[in-house]
Structure 1
C-alpha cells in the first residue's frame, strides 16, 4: 500500500507539472505521454510470527497517461522456510498463503515468484528479535499549533537484536449523527408516508487504517527502549473524538536493512516539490530477477515479529461533556424545512432528506439525510472487539 501511494503521489506531481507547462505555453496543447517510461514490478508483503494466512501483492508501476496500477495475476508464489508455503491468488494481484503459519526464530525465509516467464527471489531473511509494546498513552496537547489528542507509545526491548521498528495502526471510533429521529418517511404508491424508523442511524462506527510510514530505532541509544513515540495526533475538531475512540497499534521488529528501505521510502513520499534538490529515483529492495539482475524490482520482503496493543478513551476524558462536539456535518447545515408535497416526493426519491417532525396539520418537516443518517459516514454494526 505504501508503495502504491508513493507511485500515486508522483503521478499527481508530474500531472500538475504538465498542466503548469500547458498553461504557461497558452499556444498548443501538450499531451501527457509516457515517453521513456520504464515498467517495474511492485512486490508488497512480509511474513510475521503471527499464526495466520499471510499475503503478498503483485502489480506493475504505470505510466502517467494510464489509469492506475495494474494487478499482476497468474503468478506462482511460494515462501521457502522450514518447509514450503504455497500462495494462491484470492483476487487479481493478491496472493494468500494456502495454510496458516507463523515465522519461527532462527529460520531463513525466502520469497520466490514466477510471473510472466520471469523468476524473482528475495535474499534469505530471519526474524530480528522480539519486543512488546509497553504502554500506549493518550494526552491532550498542542501540536504544531493545533490542539488535540496525541497517542504515544513506550516499550522496553528484552532482546539485543530488537533495534528497529515499524508501526501501523487501525483506528475505530464511535460517533452519533447530529439528530436522533424516531420515524422515517417512505413512498407508498408515490405518496410520502410516516413509518417507524427502518434501521439504526444515530450511532455508528468508522474504521481507518494508517497510511503513513511510522519508524523508530534504538540503535544509537544506551537502552533498547522507545519512549514517547507519537503514533497518532487527532485534532480537537475531528469527528473521531466526538464520542469514544479506540486505536489498535501493531509494532513490527524489523531488520536494519528493512528499516533503511522504509526510511528512504518515507523520505521520498514526503517530497512535495517536484523541483526539490533531492529528486526521487529508483528505490531498490531485496528482491531481484534471477535471470535479469538489471530489471527494476520495487519492494522489500521482510520477516517481522509483531506486538499489538489497543487503547480506548472517551470525549469526556479530555473535553467538557457539555461543549459542542465535532460532527461530520456542521449544525448550521442541518436546518429543518417544510417542502411542498411535490418537492418532498422528489427529495425522497433521491434520498436527500429524512423525517424530522410532523406539524399539527400533518405536513412533514425534513432535514438533510446526512444530518440524521450516520451510515453515510460509517457502519451501524458494532465491531466485535468494541468495549463501551
Structure 2
C-alpha cells in the first residue's frame, strides 16, 4: 500500500519473498534468484471508496543491484466494479497513478485492471468494498518516559472485524541559531533577512504495518489500541506535535497478507525469528496466471482523526532537555574589513558568507560598532535543510 511504503520493499526484496524459507539458513547462501533476469510487477495501493485511488507500479530488481527498482510507466489503470463500470486513473508522475475523488457503491465489488505499455493485462481479484467505521477516540498519555498514542473504535454492524492503521506525523521545530541577516545573491552583499529559516515543520509517514482484529471478541470493538510511542525527550515534542491517524477496515484475506508481510519485513534476522514465507497476493496476469505478481489490492473507505500535543501539555520542567541534532553546531566570525586580507571588503560585503554552505546570523559588534558578521553552517541555521518553512494549513 502506498501509505505503508510497501512498494519499494516489495520491488527490492520481492523475488526473495517469493521463496519459502530462503533466509532461514544459518550459513550464508547466495541463491540464483539474486541474479535472475525475470522482473515481476509490483502493485502498491488500494481502491479508495471515499476518495482518490492512488497506485504505484514498479518492477522487482535483482538483490545484487544497487539502483532503485524500475517504475512501470505508461500503463492504463482502471477501477472496475462487478457490473463492468470503469473509473480511470491517470499517471501523475512516473509510475504513480491516481483517480478522481470517488464515492463508490458499497453494494458492489471492485478490482484493479492494469494494461501495461507492452499491452500485458493484470487484474486483482474482485473484493467487497469494506466500509470503515469512524475512530471514536484518539488520545495520548504520558507513561513513564514514553508518550503513548492510542485509539478506540467500534462497528455496531459487526462487519469490520479486521483493521489497519496508518500514521502521518508532523511537528514544529527550529534551527540551532536564529538568523537576522542573509546574503543577497543578486546584489552580492549582506542584507536584513527576508526569508524566514528559523521555524519549520517536518512531516513523516510511518512505514510500520499496524493492524488489529476483533474477530475473536463478542463485539466488533477495540479499545485503547496502541498506535505509536514517543520518548518524552524526542525533538518532535519540543514545540508542537501532530499525528494524523487513518483507519481502514479490511477483509480477512488482506489482513492475513499484511500480517505475513509484516513478519517478513520486521524480523531482526536471528535464528528465533519466523522464516520468510511466500507472499501470495490477489493480483494476477490474465494470460499467464502462473507469473508471480506482488501486491494485494483491497477496497475500503478511509476514516481519519488528528491529535495535537503542545509542549506545555506534557508538564515537563522548564529546564527539560530534548534530543537535538544540533549538538555539534558552533558559530564563527568574519571581521570586515579583515586586517589580514590583502584585498579587504567593507560592510555590507563578505568573503565568507557568500558561500551557500555558510549563513550569516547577525552583525559582529565591538564597542557597539559593526565590525563583521557572526554565522554558522547552513545545517545549523537553515531549518529548511530538514523540513519546510511553510506552515501546514491545519496548524
Q: TM-score, normalised by structure 1?
A: 0.84
1:46 aligns with 2:46: yes
Corresponding position of 2:136: 134
Contact 2:141-2:147 within 8 A present in 1 as well: yes
- 1:180–1:216 CA distance, 2 compared to 1 (3 A): same
- Mapping for residues 223-242 of structure 1, pairs under 5 Å: 223-242=219-238
CA distance in 2, matches of 1:280, 1:3: 18
Give 1:325 deviation, angstroms: 4.6
CA distance in 1, matches of 2:11, 2:86: 32
1:366 aligns with 2:375: yes
- 1:130–1:367 CA distance, 2 compared to 1 (3 A): closer
Corresponding position of 2:347: none
Corresponding position of 1:164: 162
- Mapping for residues 53-202 of structure 1, pairs under 5 Å: 53-66=52-65, 67-81=67-81, 83-97=85-99, 99-115=100-116, 116-142=118-144, 147-186=145-184, 193-202=189-198
Give 1:119 deviation, angstroms: 2.0
One of 293, 298, 319 as aligned partner of 2:294: 298
Give 1:37 deviation, angstroms: 5.1
SS of residue in 2 equivalent to 1:101: strand
Contact 1:33-1:65 within 8 A present in 2 as well: no
CA distance in 2, matches of 1:7, 1:177: 36
Corresponding position of 2:9: 5
Q: Deviations over 1:61-118 (max 9, x none)?
A: 0012331211112222212125211122222211222x43122211011222222332
Kindly report the root-mean-square deviation, in angstroms, between the aligned alpha carbons of the 2 structures.
3.1
SS of residue in 2 equivalent to 1:348: coil
- 1:9–1:228 CA distance, 2 compared to 1 (3 A): farther
Give 1:33 deviation, angstroms: 9.1
Structure 2's unaligned 5+ residue stretches are 18-26, 345-349
Structure 1's unaligned 5+ residue stretches are 14-19, 23-29
Q: Deviations over 1:255-286 (max 9, x none)?
A: 11110011001000012318667442431111
Give 1:12 deviation, angstroms: 12
Of the structure 1 ranges 365-374 and 217-226, higher mean CA displacement relative to structure 2 is found in: 365-374
- 1:280–1:62 CA distance, 2 compared to 1 (3 A): same
Aligned residues: 365
Contact 1:48-1:306 within 8 A present in 2 as well: yes
One of 318, 332, 338 as aligned partner of 2:333: 338
Contact 2:35-2:63 within 8 A present in 1 as well: no
Corresponding position of 1:215: 211
CA distance in 2, matches of 1:247, 1:186: 37
Of the structure 1 ranges 359-368 and 101-110, higher mean CA displacement relative to structure 2 is found in: 359-368
